[in-house]
Structure 1
Amino acid sequence: MAVESNIVSYAQVAGDARTAADSGDRIESIKLSLVYLPLATPVSDAKVLTGRQKPLTEIAFIFAEIRSRDGHEGIGFGYSKRAGGPGMYAHAQELAEHLLGEDPNDTSRLFTKLLWAGASMGRSGLTTQAIAPFDIALWDMKAKRAGLPLAKLLGAQRDSVQCYNTSGGYLHTPLDQVLKNVEISRNSGIGGIKLKVGQPDLAIDIQRVGEVRKLLGNDFPLMVDANQQWDRQKATRACRAFEGFDLTWIEEPLDAYDFEGHAQLASRFDTAIATGEMLTSFGEHAQLIMAEGSDFIQPDAPRVGGITPFLQIMALGEFKGRKLAPHFAMEIHLHLAAAYAIEPWLEHFEWLGPMFNEQLQLKNGRMWVPDRPGLGFSLSEQALAWTADHKTFGKGA
């Protein structure tokens, strides 16, 4: 009888207990905004010199601002260069209502829900990129709810990340100005310099890299980026020519989906190979990593669908011993890189600065994780002025 009595009391306790599903918060409203960031000077890389793309003059951003029933808020963004911004914005509007009434803490489940909502269009490319603003906003909310910077919520490995600058070394920039830009970046506390390469004449690339290496000295980290514009033969010649410059890496020497070709270069040369920024899903990055296609992986959270798939890429990258150098969007990637087990690099772009009220701190070659909860940024008045359209879903719509 004593045993039966205990069983009854346990059942009563279980029956009275609330579950996580009972007590969870709910998404109440979502605001989507399409914002165009103008660039002061049109930007050209190797894709422009080959005639495949026009110079970059503006960047389209899709911002998602999510508010929950319990008063928690999160903000995230995706972006597109040259084309695709209106398409992303349109698909994001189709997805938004799928989140209303959901528990914002269920980031993995909600990512999967949104992925399948647009699966007839595929599970990479525009469909995943349109998910990113929501997924990133939900992670921002989750960290704010905990009162922690996102890096700390994820379990930071470090409080700062070594940081390199790209924006001063584009192909449209004359060499004398490149050298001035390099000096400015180094004096500002940057930890590395990346130059664009891919001139029709390889000798010009070699000259430009040589002059920058001479200015920086042998010990300062220097990278180059060909933006996918070489074939295998030209890439082999270029990698061989650059071996003497002690580069930290050679980026995108081949088409982004030529995993086999990148793997051959990575095994053949001492200089590290970096690629991955153009891939738009965990599955594509898994193919790259498992093919031994690079020494550095370069995922982009807004392009792969947000922080949820980015964390999957990090886990596989760590397991396979890959180094990490996320592409663009340092406001997001600083937190993710800070949580990576192997010492990573962060790409510095000052372009996005005017859109946010808060700025990141650069010191002694490293970018420091801010102490603000979440991702630690909010939209500025300038961003609001650049807003081309916005829509609200749920409460207040």
Structure 2
Amino acid sequence: MKHAATPVADLRGEATLDSIAWIKLSSVALPLATPISDAKVLTGRQKPMTEVAFLFVEIETAQGRTGIGFSYSKRAGGPAQFAHAKEIADNLIGEDPSDIGRLWTKLVWAGASVGRSGVATQAIAALDIALWDLKAKRAGLPLAKLLGAHRDSVRCYNTSGGFLHTPTEQVLDNATASLAHGIGGIKIKVGHPDGKQDLRRLTAVREHIGDDVPLMVDANQQWDRPTAQRMGRAMEEFGLVWIEEPLDAYDAQGHAALAASLDTPIATGEMLASVAEHYELIRHNAADVIQPDAPRIGGITQFLKLAALAEHHHLQLAPHFAMEIHLHLAAAYPIEPWVEHFDWLEPLFEERLTISDGRMNVPARPGLGVTLTDQARAWTQATHEVGKRA
């Protein structure tokens, strides 16, 4: 005998305190002051980056509670995230916003034909993050405290001052400014077609900041296995915190061989789009430092699953980009992590994160602790609403 599906309303008991009444999606294009180039541009794989596309989600409940979340895409993919979110967002109307794990699964099944990674889960990520922001606000806690913080500040390093389009002298000036601002480490891009140029640039930075300042490099997947091996050996003398993305993001075996052969730790993971893809890195022992990106892998719900796996394997954690989200998640990771400082997103939010003594401080504001600026509204290219505001 077939049984009809039980309506959501019939499943509610006294534990259901609220329901989602209204959702607004916004597609926002953040222009960059200077076109950005890394090794992918120098090798002809990509064009310089001129903007970052964001999908913002605002949620309001029947009781007037609110949450905000976002995902993003660099160069291409932003409109696709927005389009998929438009198709599935109405599945949340009437649901209890506290049941985040169940709602994540519901959204995945709403778009099951397009899979469980990439654009599909990046669209879900913005909704998921908004739900976590709402839950923490309901509790009156910063998200880190809701999750259970291990610390109230996280080591931070700067990346935005060391891109390959930036002349070496400017990279040095940028490093000085970052350290004066209280940032704890410096990361520069490598991956020039001529590796000797990378080594000259790295030598200049190390000599400029001194041996005691944490220094990282990021090759953005541009080396093949032999080149990565040679460059990794040549860079051992610089005492790097890590070498990031030396190989193709999906080359787990290559990363594993490199990690086993070098003293310098290997970091990777930012370009992967699901927990399952990260698990391939973990089971191959392919990374000393795992670098997940919550908006890319499906939001906070998925990030927490990955963090549990990473902790079980005693991995260091250094989430990619989106410090406004990742500061909270890193603060809740048991092993001392890093968070990446980018000031690109500052025009989007009214609030600022504070930095002191090499660490980024978890804000006391409830939830993520961010609200959109008028400028973010002005950069909005499309919106879509479902439900009705309370």
Do they superpose with TM above 0.5?
A: yes
Pick the aligned partner of 1:184 from 177, 184, 190. 177
Structure 1 pair 20/373, CA: closer, same or farther in 2 (3 Å)?
farther
Of residues 76, 85, 90, the one that matches 2:83 is 90
Identical counterparts, % of pairs: 65
- Larger of the two Rg values belongs to structure: 1
The answer to whether structure 1 residue 257 and structure 2 residue 250 are counterparts is yes
Query: Structure 1 residue 172 and structure 2 residue 165: aligned?
Result: yes
Structure 2 counterpart of 1:225, from 211, 218, 224: 218
Alignment size in residue pairs = 380
Which residue, out of 263, 266, 272, partners 1:279? 272
Q: 1:287: Cα distance to partner?
A: 1.4
- Match for 1:136 among 104, 114, 129? 129
**Is residue 373 of structure 1 aligned with residue 369 of structure 2?**
no
- Alpha carbons 2:21, 2:389 under 8 Å: kept: no
Partners of 2:200 and 2:209 in 1: CA distance:
14
Q: How far apart are residue 122 of structure 1 and its match?
A: 1.3
Residue 50 (structure 1) aligned with residue 43 (structure 2): yes
State how far apart, in whole Å, the 1-side matches of 2:335 and 2:199 are.
31
Instruction: Supply the AA of the counterpart residue of 1:52.
Output: R
CA distance in 2, matches of 1:42, 1:222: 24
CA shift for structure 1 position 23: 3.2
Shift of 1:395: 0.5
Paired amino acid for 2:285: E
TM-score using structure 2 length? 0.96
CA contact (8 A) 2:321 2:341 kept: yes
Cα RMSD of the aligned pairs, angstroms, is 1.2
Cα deviation per residue 1:11-44 (whole Å; 9 max; x = unaligned)? xxxxxxx974663311000000000000000000
Superposed, 1:227-376 pairs within 5 Å as 227-376=220-369
Runs of 4+ in 1 over 6 A off after TM superposition: none
Cα-to-partner distance string for 1:249-295 (whole Å, 9 max, x where unaligned): 00000000001100111111000000000011111111111111100
Q: Give the Cα separation in 2 of the matches to 1:128 and 1:21.
A: 31
- Output the TM-score relative to the length of structure 1: 0.94
Amino acid at match of 1:42: P
CA distance in 2, matches of 1:117, 1:258: 31
Aligned partners of 2:16 and 2:96 also within 8 Å: no
- The secondary structure found in structure 1 opposite 2:91 is coil
Deviations 1:148-202 (Å, cap 9, x if unpaired)?
A: 0000000000000000000000000011111111111111111000000000000
Provide the C-alpha distance between the structure 2 equivalents of 1:21 and 1:257, rounded to a whole number of angstroms: 47
Shift of the 114–19 alpha-carbon distance from structure 1 to 2, 3 Å rule, reads closer
Question: Structure 1 CA distance, aligned partners of 2:35 and 2:12?
Answer: 55
CA distance in 2, matches of 1:348, 1:87: 27
Q: Deviations over 1:47-78 (max 9, x none)?
A: 00111100000000000000011111000000
Q: Which residue, out of 152, 160, 174, partners 1:159? A: 152
**In structure 2, how many angstroms separate the alpha carbons of the residues matched to 1:358 and 1:219?**
32
Q: What whole-Å deviation, never above 9, does each CA across 1:318-368 have from its counterpart, x for those lacking one?
A: 000000000000000000000000000000000000100000001110000
| Cα distance between partner residues in 1 of 2:29 and 2:14 | 39
Alpha-carbon distance in 1 for matches of 2:345, 2:177:
18
Partner of 1:32: 25
Report the alpha carbon displacement of residue 396 of structure 1 after superposing the two structures with TM. 4.9
Partner residue of 2:4? none
Q: Which runs of 5 or more residues in structure 2 are unaligned?
A: 1-10
Gaps of 5+ in 1: 1-17
Instruction: Tell me the SS of whatever aligns to 1:23.
Output: coil
Structure 2 Cα separation of the partners of residues 22 and 337 of structure 1: 30
The aligned counterpart of 1:114 is 107
CA positional deviation for 1:391: 1.2
Equivalent residue, structure 2, for 1:386: 379
Is 1:150 aligned to residue 119 of structure 2? no
